[in-house]
Chain A
Amino acid sequence: MVQDTRTPAGPAGPPPAADAPPPGRPARPVRGRRRRAWDEVPRRQIYLPLGVYLVFTLVPFYWILLFALRPAGSTSLVPWPMTTAHFEKVWTERAFATFFQNSLLIGLATLVTTTVVALAGGYALARFDFRIKKGFMLALLCSQFVPGALLLVPLFQIFAELRMINSLGSVIIAETVFQLPLSMILISGFIRNVPYSLEEAAWVDGCSRFAAFRIVVLPLLRPGLVAVGSFAFVHSWNHFLFALMFLSSQEKQTIPVGLNTLMGADSVDLGALAAGGVIAALPVVIVFAFIQKWLVTGFSAGAVKG
């Protein structure tokens, strides 16, 4: 976008260059200086508040690492000597190895189902006018007011009817359903940003609608899909109410439920709680590190205004 201002001068090349200095060159420093003036917020107005906020953000992270790594009973503020005893304990004794597997399975399955279903629906909302479209959009918005927690009882009955209690499938379905409305709104926003004429051009070249979508739209959609998919993953990884209610046996449970039990009855074992917390945080932190630079651009692709 910013570069657009330069393009008229660029391709024209020689002719305009005749008058005064070369077209591209001088425009830049002037522009740069002006931008600078706006950007030039005094450094301490940036670093000071940011530093304070960073402390607020990082102290809790440090705290949990500290408790996870220092031996039980230590009050040192540095995790030294370091021990992995807490991790070994929660991983084997507290069955976090199993929880981890279950959570991962639920997270990945939710990611895939949400993305595929929302992609189909989002495409319809972005590219077609059809009779129930307005009603459907309204339903998507209204569904955001429906608290999942308050629908636990009927949802439990439905899954009991489907004989899905204590199977991971129930949680995958529930997480997907509650993830869908927002994902669909976001994806349709992303698709709307891809010029329709690109698709039309592909049709003219003999592509089917599906092929055109796959070849032209899908690659452009990648950042948006990564954002939506990771939302779905992170949400289902962190959410605990559905797992708590629909999965009855311990070997089907997920990490947040495991954490909750550590916090409950025997909350004395802070080391185990901290180690469990670190295990719970790892995948989401990795996912986050991976997507965070796309997150902002993904949203700014008109999604918020979708």
Chain B
Amino acid sequence: MATAVTEPPQAAKAPKASGRRTGAAPRRLPYLLIAPAALLMLGFIAYPVLSVFSYSLQHYNPTKPWRNGFAGFDNFTRIFTDDPQFWGTLTFSLKWVAVEVTLQLLFGLALALIVNQTFVGRALGRALVFSPWAVSGVLTSAIWVLLYNSQTGITRYLADLGVGEYGTSWLSDTATVFPAVVVADLWRGVPFFAILILADLQSVPKDLYEAAEVDGAGRLRQFLHITLPHLKDAIILSTLLRAVWEFNNVDLLYTLTGGGPAGETTTLPLYIANTSVDAHNFGYASALTTVAFVILLFCSMVYLRLSKFGGESK
């Protein structure tokens, strides 16, 4: 809509403005174009973020209004000195992200390299292998709840084959719950990496390989010296995005284990959600959120710096 309003002036100017993107371009148009997006993001991301920061300095609990009020840094001191759950959930979050992202990257890379080859049935193979990407969150949980069910799940049929015993549930045993949720999340996470990496693989110039072959480089060397360097930026970016998403992701663990058994699979965001929604302790939850946000931002910056994202390769 906004474009229609400003249309006539540029239309008149356009033929004269042979220099591209110069001052001849209408001044207000770009601002009008980003305005809807900018306003939405200001109102529904920036403003909520700021209010979370301000809540973090308050005792804010709608069920205990007499305790509301300015708290200073009380919430933060409590987090770092008097909250074993914070450290527990943070450690689990980091372990969760590290394991998930590493495995997803390795499997995703392997999968992308495989489906990048030409072979009979490739299109169908790709479609099938990538399909869990479309399915996420609660649906993934629903599927794996059925698969892990103690009575009729996969363990029952394994027991029939003489592996394990009847009535075991991998989700309620502290020894098996972590691998069980990791596998469930891999199921939908690997296709994500594979799709991104495959997209980038297709842009590697073929003649590089031909040249390498003439020079007698084997497939492993071609992979190490052509493919991998070419994929670097895509890998860095997708790893970062995935790490952040895995850290923040609440859907899967919330519905699959609810953070249990015995808090064994509670990530920091899950702990925050429980603190704010179930315990109604908004002030404290906001302080936890602030800390989580700072940790995330810090790690992302360090990661981008260390990996020299977009550095010499661009």
Contacts and interface: CB of A to CB of B under 8 A. Distances in A.
Interface of A: 2, 34-35, 37-39, 41, 43, 46-47, 49-50, 53-54, 56-61, 63-64, 67, 75, 77, 117-118, 120-121, 123-125, 127-130, 132-133, 136, 139, 142-155, 157-158, 173-174, 176-178, 180-181, 184, 196, 200, 203-204, 207-210, 213, 234, 238-241, 245, 256, 259-260, 262-263, 267, 270, 273-274, 276-277, 280-281, 284-285, 287-289, 292-293, 295-300, 303-305
B134 A184 contact: no
A263 B255 contact: yes
Contact of A292 (B107, B126, B233): B126
Contact of B200 (A54, A67, A300): A300
A273 B126 CA distance: 28
A270 B241 contact: no
Given A130-B30, A196-B20, A117 B36 contact: yes
B125 A304 contact: no
Given A46-B114, A180-B41, A203 B127 contact: no
B123 interface: yes
Interface in B105-127: 107, 110-111, 114-115, 117-119, 123, 125-127
B49 A147 contact: no
Nearest to B111: A53
A54 B11 contact: no
Contacts of B314: 305
A297 B123 CA distance: 13
B81 interface: no
A87 B183 CA distance: 28
A120 B244 contact: no
Contacts of B128: 54, 57-58
B63 to A, nearest CB: 13
Nearest to A286: B134
A294 to B, nearest CB: 11
29 contacts: A34-B213, A38-B209, A46-B114, A57-B131, A67-B146, A129-B21, A144-B244, A145-B296, A147-B292, A149-B272, A150-B269, A150-B272, A151-B52, A152-B277, A153-B282, A154-B47, A157-B51, A180-B37, A209-B7, A238-B139, A240-B255, A263-B138, A277-B146, A280-B138, A288-B133, A289-B127, A300-B202, A304-B200, A304-B237
Contact of A240 (B137, B195, B310): B137
B137 A304 contact: no
B289 interface: yes
B52 A150 contact: yes
Given A57-B129, A284-B134, A285-B134, A149 B250 contact: yes
A145 to B, nearest CB: 5
Interface extent on B, as a size class? 35 or more
A275 to B, nearest CB: 10
A38 B137 contact: no
B41 A277 contact: no
A148 B18 CA distance: 44
A64 B37 contact: no
Contacts of B200: 299-300, 304
B132 interface: yes
A116 to B, nearest CB: 8
A209 B137 contact: no
A130 to B, nearest CB: 4
Contacts of B117: 39, 41, 46
Most chain B beta carbons < 10 A, residue from A117, A245, A297: A117
Most chain A CB within 10 A, of B110, B136, B213, B222, is at B136
A296 B33 contact: no
A256 B18 CA distance: 53
Contact of A259 (B15, B52, B129, B138): B138
Given A2-B206, A210-B4, A273 B145 contact: yes
Contact of B196 (A158, A241, A304): A304
Contact of B255 (A142, A150, A260, A300): A260
Contacts of A274: 142, 146
Given A177-B41, A208-B10, A299-B196, A150 B126 contact: no
Nearest to B205: A1
A263 B2 contact: no
Given A128-B30, A208-B11, A57 B187 contact: yes
Contacts of A208: 7-8, 10-11, 14
B132 A296 contact: no
Contacts of A61: 131, 143
B293 interface: yes
Contacts of A295: 130, 195, 199
Given A63-B146, A150-B52, A123 B233 contact: no
A257 to B, nearest CB: 8
A162 to B, nearest CB: 10
Contact of B119 (A47, A176, A276): A47
A148 B250 CA distance: 10
B199 A296 contact: yes
B111 to A, nearest CB: 6
Contacts of A133: 30
B243 to A, nearest CB: 10
Interface string B206-248: 1001100100000100100000000001100110010010011
Interface string B251-277: 100010000000000000100110011
